[in-house]
Structure 1
Amino acid sequence: MTLQIHGSVAPGFERIRDEFAEGFSEKPQMGAALSILHNGESVVDLWGGVADERTNAPWSDETVSVIFSCTKGLVSILAARLVQDGLLDYEAPVADYWPEFAAAGKADVRVKHLLSHRSGLSAPRSPLTAEQIIDWNHVVRELGAQKPLWEPGSGYAYHAITHGWLIGEVIRRVSGRTVGQYFADLITTPLGVDAWIGLPPSLSSRVAHMQVGSTLAELTAQQATARKPEETDWSGLAMTLGGALAPELIGPGDSDGFNSPEIQAAEIPGAGGIASARAVASIWSSTIMPVGGVRLLDDDTIATATVPQSEGLPVWAVPGPWPRWGMGFQLDSEARRYTTAHGFGHDGAGGQVAFADPAAGVGFAYLTNQMEAINDLRGTRIVDALRTTLDL
């Protein structure tokens, strides 16, 4: 099949299209989309490739996909807005909003600890099943009762999936709405964009089929080989939850993990958001300037939410370079460079990249259904090209 890139680029942004097309090299079954807003206006809106490698269905301008941990960035916007509105305090104990959370020595855990991966709840002590993780009340009850894996606040480890339930339950208690409902009310409905935390089942036919690329398969095989049977692999459990998910987050079957319609329909705000690139870029742009008359966060809120909270060597030693986080937002670091050092957003498993950059006036989203890992530079090269294009 001859690759066709669809969509448009504004004059002067042609190099971005070239880098987007280059990302498909030697990946005949891949699909992807890219959207960039500059100063609130669309300058890049591209898509191409295959949405479902099983049928060769093409990626269209209506295709949406699982955005994995990019969802954490969107949920962090919700938390920041509650702070901005005076309804939530980053420094407050979580138990002020969620009294049951004080169990097992967690009375002093702060909201900022949940957001910055410092709560000690990066993985469940008791394994969860695929059926259990679509039951919100079951998961938050388990996490609320759990003893931390390390002293909260003393260090960080990536809360790959639990992050969304933890801060999501605080959002639910404060707003009186589920995360998916609050996300729709505050963000997607006013902006008129296609993004969900909990996909309506009637829209499942629009979702791209996620696939494990060769480098992701290689990475998970390496990790399995290196694992010591006598040690608890808390980093691995943060991803699999003890059996609910595969290490790659999808498979082994065609409809397992985040390819499952049941999991896509559930509210799993650590990794389960589904959106178009156009929607995600618009959301990030609207955090720093009005988009269609909607601005989500003010400058003071952004300044507070992007103060570094976690960086450097994590509790469970993993190879660097390591990301940096503010109040849930992934910050510019060696692990993820944005257009300038002022960027903030969140990557997602398999190659997803999404962020805002107030210094550059950028809202950015690159999404793909071919999940890669080792030396995956598809999104990075586009960001680098954008930086050059904007002469930053």
Structure 2
Amino acid sequence: MSGSIGGACESKFAAVKEEFERNFAERGEVGASVCLSVNGETQVDLWGGMANPETGDAWREDTISIVFSCSKAATALCAHILIDRGELNPEALVADYWPKFAKNGKEKTTVRMMLNHESALPTLRDPVRPGGFEDWDYMIQRLEDEEAFWEPGTRNGYHMINFGWTVGELVRRVSGKSLGTFFREEVADKTGARFWLGLPETEDVHIAPIIPYAPKPGDVPTEFAIKLVTEPESIQHKSFMNNGGWDFNNRKSQAAEIGGGGGL
């Protein structure tokens, strides 16, 4: 086990602490944290291991890391705040807010379809230029020009990273603020949440770099993984690999407002 376990845990959740400790002792965990609150009261708040094995830096109480697709919840929350205020209509056409989106089979896409992963833009067909994920305007133009992968609203398909730009651009156009600014002002600042969709360069935080998962001998690949590896023209492959060389551990990338997978 790397490092020690810090924090506190209420006795009724002792099993959570036991499993957390087992992650390090038996399952090869490097560094992690877990926090659980019930009715606004913190019941579990644990951290342990190494934040950065290369430097020997321990995981601390205030350590953060990128949370990948959990970022979508923060992005969706921004849209739902605008819906609740009556400023964004879930039944309206996206074109009512974002006129240039309405082409190449996307003309009838609604706001609800954007939120439901039904807007038919799970990925991009042509290669994303190097660093493209860090350029909001570039990604928006790419989405405007992309042809729908199916008739919007007729089926669901996970929008792995694009969700952050499709929904985020609606937030930007309706509120007049960037996605990250809206989240900070309307959610984080009001709740005290230490979470960002686009980490300011001036923010002094303790970041644990992500260690990508490496398949082990004996792992049974999923259907998704098989298509990702064997079918380069598949949606699975392009969703995962067509990312312009996205380096999620790069500070510039962490500062970009990648609402589909870059929150931390």
TM-score (ref. length: structure 1): 0.62
Contact 1:37 1:44 in 2 (8 A): yes
**Aligned mates of 2:66, 2:243 — CA distance in 1:** 20
**Aligned mates of 1:2, 1:125 — CA distance in 2:** 42
Contact 1:29 1:53 in 2 (8 A): no
Tell me, what secondary structure is at the counterpart of 1:6? strand
Superposed CA offset, 1:131-165 (max 9, x none):
22111001101101211011111111111001110
Change (3 A) 1:204 1:142: farther
1:226-245 matches, cutoff 5 A:
227-228=230-231, 232-240=233-241, 242-245=242-245
Paired amino acid for 1:178 = S
**Aligned mates of 1:114, 1:222 — CA distance in 2:** 25
Contact 1:35 1:45 in 2 (8 A): yes
1:168-187 matches, cutoff 5 A:
168-187=168-187
**Aligned mates of 1:273, 1:166 — CA distance in 2:** 16
Count of paired positions: 261
Q: Alpha-carbon deviation of 1:119?
A: 0.9
Q: Alpha-carbon deviation of 1:216?
A: 7.9
Which residue pairs with 1:158 in the alignment? Answer: 158
Change (3 A) 1:228 1:197: closer
Contact 1:32 1:47 in 2 (8 A): yes
Q: Alpha-carbon deviation of 1:175?
A: 0.8
Change (3 A) 1:204 1:170: same
1:12 and 2:23 are equivalent in the alignment: no
Q: Alpha-carbon deviation of 1:105?
A: 2.7
Q: Alpha-carbon deviation of 1:74?
A: 1.2
1:261 and 2:264 are equivalent in the alignment: no
Deviates more, 1:204-213 or 1:219-228: 219-228
Q: Alpha-carbon deviation of 1:212?
A: 2.0
Which residue pairs with 2:33 in the alignment? Answer: 33
Change (3 A) 1:205 1:223: farther
**Aligned mates of 2:189, 2:101 — CA distance in 1:** 32
Q: Alpha-carbon deviation of 1:215?
A: 3.5
Q: Alpha-carbon deviation of 1:103?
A: 1.8
Contact 1:53 1:209 in 2 (8 A): no
TM-score (ref. length: structure 2): 0.91
Tell me, what secondary structure is at the counterpart of 1:171? helix
**Aligned mates of 1:223, 1:71 — CA distance in 2:** 26
Q: Alpha-carbon deviation of 1:130?
A: 3.5
Contact 1:29 1:50 in 2 (8 A): no
Contact 1:179 1:267 in 2 (8 A): yes
Paired amino acid for 2:236 = S
**Aligned mates of 2:211, 2:35 — CA distance in 1:** 21
Q: Which runs of 5+ in 1 are unaligned?
A: 246-255, 275-392
Q: Alpha-carbon deviation of 1:26?
A: 3.7
**Aligned mates of 2:149, 2:137 — CA distance in 1:** 21
Which residue pairs with 1:197 in the alignment? Answer: 197
Q: Alpha-carbon deviation of 1:202?
A: 3.6
Q: Which runs of 5+ in 2 are unaligned?
A: none
> What is the aligned-residue RMSD (CA, Å)?
2.3
Contact 1:188 1:194 in 2 (8 A): yes
Contact 1:51 1:208 in 2 (8 A): yes
The share of aligned pairs that are identical, in percent, is: 34
**Aligned mates of 1:225, 1:76 — CA distance in 2:** 27
**Aligned mates of 1:223, 1:56 — CA distance in 2:** 35
Superposed CA offset, 1:4-57 (max 9, x none):
111111232212111221222345561111111101111111111111121121
Which residue pairs with 2:141 in the alignment? Answer: 141
Superposed CA offset, 1:192-242 (max 9, x none):
22111111224476110110233489659963785146xx111121122x2
1:223 and 2:226 are equivalent in the alignment: yes
Change (3 A) 1:54 1:111: same
